[in-house]
């Protein structure tokens, strides 16, 4: 096994009082009374929620991929259906879905739970799904030195389902491929068939 101890960095301390003031302002701006009984604790609750939902902003998910094992296995490793939720940066509304991560090792493998940890930490920030997909693929390609990497995300965006066009159930699928999966059509087709298998 290479890499050092997988310690998490000291957590970033979000400015909760500042967020609480902002939530009070939003409530007042839409004509609500932030001091009425049902809303008294809402600013504090919302502030804690945002601190949790954006906690990945100050973490380095790459550290999980640096804990690798020397292994001669050189066939596909695929982890499907990793659930995640993130926040669309355009409306600060959640998008929820599943991530599928695959790679072709080149002498080193990573613990399967580490792939899920990467998804979890990358998802905890305001972003667009397209960027999230590429960020995970780039991290895997760079840190694992794999022959090929594929990342597919499927998500439902509440900014499309509860406002604007109002189309609940619409699913957005994004993919990013690196290495062999980018250049070899049959390899990419094989992994996509495994991802899509029911």
Does the annotation count 100 as an active-site position?
Answer: no
List the catalytic residue out of 52, 71, 90, 142.
90
List the catalytic residue out of 25, 89, 130, 142.
89
Does the annotation count 88 as an active-site position?
Answer: yes
CA 68 – CA 175 distance, rounded (Å):
24
Does the annotation count 89 as an active-site position?
Answer: yes
List the catalytic residue out of 32, 58, 134, 159.
159
The region, left, alpha or beta by phi > 0 then psi within -120 to 50, assigned to residue 13 is beta
Instruction: Look up residue 151 and give its DSSP letter.
Output: E
Does the annotation count 90 as an active-site position?
Answer: yes
Crossing angle of helices 16-29 and 42-53, in 10° steps, is 120
Answer positive or negative: Cα dihedral of 34, 40, 41, 44.
Answer: positive
Does the annotation count 127 as an active-site position?
Answer: no
Does the annotation count 32 as an active-site position?
Answer: no
- What contacts 130, CB < 8 A, 6 or more positions away? 174
Among 69, 72, 82, 53, residue whose Cα is nearest residue 6: 69
Does the annotation count 159 as an active-site position?
Answer: yes
List the catalytic residue out of 20, 64, 88, 121.
88
Q: How far apart are the first and last CA of the chain?
A: 35
List the catalytic residue out of 20, 100, 127, 129.
129
Catalytic residue annotation = 88-91, 129, 157, 159
């Amino acid at each position: 096994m290479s890499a050092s101890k997988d310690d998490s960095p000291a957590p970033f301390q979000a400015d909760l009082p500042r967020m609480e003031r902002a939530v009070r302002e939003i409530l007042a701006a839409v004509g609500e009374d932030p001091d009425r009984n049902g809303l008294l604790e809402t600013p504090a609750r919302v502030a804690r929620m945002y601190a949790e939902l954006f906690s990945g902003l100050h973490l380095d998910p790459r550290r999980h991929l640096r804990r690798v094992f020397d292994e001669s296995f050189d066939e596909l490793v695929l982890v499907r259906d990793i659930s995640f939720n993130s926040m669309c940066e355009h409306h600060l509304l959640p998008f929820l879905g599943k991530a599928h991560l695959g790679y072709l090792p080149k002498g080193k493998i990573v613990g399967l739970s580490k792939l899920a940890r990467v998804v979890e930490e990358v998802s905890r920030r305001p972003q667009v799904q397209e960027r999230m997909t590429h960020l995970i693929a780039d991290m895997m390609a760079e840190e694992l030195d794999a022959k090929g990497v594929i990342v597919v995300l499927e998500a439902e965006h509440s900014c499309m389902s509860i406002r604007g066009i109002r189309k609940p159930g619409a699913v957005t699928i994004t993919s990013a491929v690196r290495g062999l999966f980018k250049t070899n059509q049959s390899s990419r087709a094989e992994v996509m068939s495994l991802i899509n298998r029911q």
